[in-house]
Copies of this chain bind each other. A is one copy, B any other.
Amino acid sequence: MLRYPGPADRTGSRRANLVLLLRTLREQGQVSRAQLAVHSGLSKATVSSLVGDLAQRGLVRPAGTTAGGQGRPGELVELRPSSACGVGLDLNVEHVGATVMDLTGEVLLRRQIACDVPASGPERVLDLLAEALAGVLGDVQARGGWVVGATVAVPGLVDTDGAVVRFAPRLRWREVALRNGLAARTGLALDFFGADNDANLAAIAEHHAGAAAGLDDFVYLTGDHGVGAGAFSRGELVRGHLGYAGEVGHMTLDPLGPWCSCGRRGCWETQVGLGALLHACATPDDPVRDPALDPDSRMALVRARAVSGDRRTLDALHQIGAALGAGVAVLVNLFNPAAVVLGGYFAALPEWLVEPVRSEVAARVLAEGAGGATIVASRLGFQAPATGGAAHALRRVLDDPATVPIEEHTEHTEGMVAP
C-alpha cells in the first residue's frame, strides 16, 4: 500500500527535524554538528539552529571537541542526561513502585513500596503511588532534571485514553479513575499521567532496548500472579479496537481446570501464574509464600532450591514449563513471532523453563522449526513494565521536543546557541 505524504508546513517540519536530531543524538552519543548533518541529511546551518534550540530547552550540552582527524576540531554535542525524565509507575499485587528513565534511555533510579494491593483498595493504593512518584520527583530535581510525565503499568484492562482501569482481576479493581486520582493527589496536570496494560509497556521496553530490540514481530509474556501478553506486529503493538488485546492469561486451555480470579475456570494463568508455581513448590507456611517478600528475593529462594536439586521445586518447574509451552505454542501458531520473550518470574528461572517451552512449541506449532520463533528470557525482569512505562512517558519529549519550554540554561548553553 502506498502512503501519500501530506504537505509539510514549516512548523511541522521544524518539529520533525528536532525529533530527528534528538533521536540521532540518542543513538550516537557524542557527535559533532557536522556528523549530525550527515546522519540527518539536514544542512549544517539548520543543524546549528536546531542544536541551539535544543540547548535552550536544556536537552543537550557541549561534550568537548573531536580529537585527531584533519581540519579544525569539531565541537561535540550530547544529550544532557540530567534533563527531561520519564517515570513508569508500577502497580502490582504485592507492591507499587516508580522507575525513572532519563533522556538517553538509561534507568536512573527505582523506588518500591510493599503493599497488599487487593486488600488495601484503590484509594489507599493511589496514595502510595502518589507517594512513590513524589519521592522520585524529588530525586530527579536534586540531580538538576525534571519529569515530563508518568505512565502507570496496570496488570489488567485500561481504557484507550489511559485514564481509567476497567478491570484488573488480580488487583480486584473495576472502573478505577487512575488519572483523576493521581492528578488530585499530586496537584499535577491530568495530561502528566497516562496508563497502559503492563504487558504492552513491557513489550515496549523489550523492543526499545531488550531481548526484542529491532524485531518487528514478537510476543512478550508477563509472568506474575497474572499472565499477559504484549504482541508486536510490523513494529507496532497489537492493541485491538478498544485496547484490550493480549489477555492470554484468560485463554481457556483446560475446561475443567481450577477457578481463576476472573471468575472463570481453567484460564491459562491458573496453570502458569506465580500462584501455580508457589502452590506446587511450597507449603502454605513456607517463607517463599510470604506476601511481604519482594519478587526478586522470592525468586532467589526458588532458584536456590532448584539449583540444590530440591525434588518438589524441580517437579513444580517441570509442570509449569509444560503448561507454559502449551500456551506459548498457541501464541506462536497465531502470531508467528520472531521471538517469544518470557518476562517476570519466568525470566528468573530460564534454566528450567526455556527448554521445556522450546520443546512444547516445536512439537505443537504447525510451521516447521516453530515458524522461526526463538524462545528467550527477558533481561529486564520484573521491572520491564515500569521501564516501559518510563519510556512511554518520555515519548512526549522524544516525539515533540518543543513541548519543553525554552528557559535560560546558561551553564549549559554557553556557545551553543547559533547567533
Please tell me if the beta carbons of A326 and B241 are within 8 angstroms of each other in the complex. Answer: no
Interface membership of A141, Cβ < 8 A? no
Interface membership of A20, Cβ < 8 A? yes
Q: Which of A247, A253, A333, A399 has the most CB of B within 10 A?
A: A333
**Can you tell how many copies of this chain the complex includes?**
2
Please tell me if the beta carbons of A367 and B244 are within 8 angstroms of each other in the complex. Answer: yes
Please tell me if the beta carbons of A337 and B241 are within 8 angstroms of each other in the complex. Answer: yes
Selected contact of A334 from candidates B215, B252, B326, B334, CB within 8 Å:
B334
Count A-side interface residues using an 8 Å CB cutoff: 60
Selected contact of A336 from candidates B8, B240, B399, CB within 8 Å:
B240
Interface membership of A356, Cβ < 8 A? no
Interface membership of A1, Cβ < 8 A? yes
Interface membership of A229, Cβ < 8 A? yes
- Chain B neighbourhood of A331, CB < 8 A: 334
With A169-B366, A364-B264 already in contact, the answer to whether A335 and B245 are too (CB < 8 A) is yes
Stretch at the interface among A132-140, A230-238, A311-319: A230-238
Give Cα A236–Cα B237 distance, bound, in whole angstroms.
12
Residue of B nearest to A331 (CB): B334
- Chain B neighbourhood of A245, CB < 8 A: 233, 334-336
Interface membership of A5, Cβ < 8 A? yes
Interface membership of A372, Cβ < 8 A? yes
- Chain B neighbourhood of A252, CB < 8 A: 253, 326, 329-330, 364
Which residues of A157-194 have CB atoms within 8 Å of chain B's CB atoms?
157, 166-167, 169
Question: In the complex, how many angstroms separate the beta carbon of A196 from the nearest chain B beta carbon?
Answer: 14
Please tell me if the beta carbons of B334 and A247 are within 8 angstroms of each other in the complex. Answer: yes
Please tell me if the beta carbons of A336 and B372 are within 8 angstroms of each other in the complex. Answer: no
Chain A positions within 8 Å of B, measured between CB atoms, are 1-6, 8, 16, 19-20, 157, 166-167, 169, 215-217, 229, 231, 233-234, 236, 238-248, 250-253, 255, 262, 264, 326, 329-331, 333-338, 363-368, 371-372, 399-400
11 extra A-B contacts, CB within 8 A, seeds A238-B238, A248-B334, A252-B330: A231-B334, A233-B240, A240-B336, A240-B337, A246-B336, A247-B336, A247-B365, A250-B333, A251-B334, A262-B366, A264-B363
Q: List 30 A-B contacts (CB under 8 A).
A: A2-B19, A2-B399, A3-B3, A4-B16, A5-B5, A5-B6, A5-B8, A157-B367, A167-B367, A167-B368, A231-B334, A238-B238, A240-B335, A240-B337, A240-B371, A241-B371, A242-B372, A244-B367, A245-B335, A246-B334, A247-B336, A247-B367, A248-B333, A248-B334, A250-B333, A250-B365, A252-B253, A253-B253, A264-B364, A330-B330
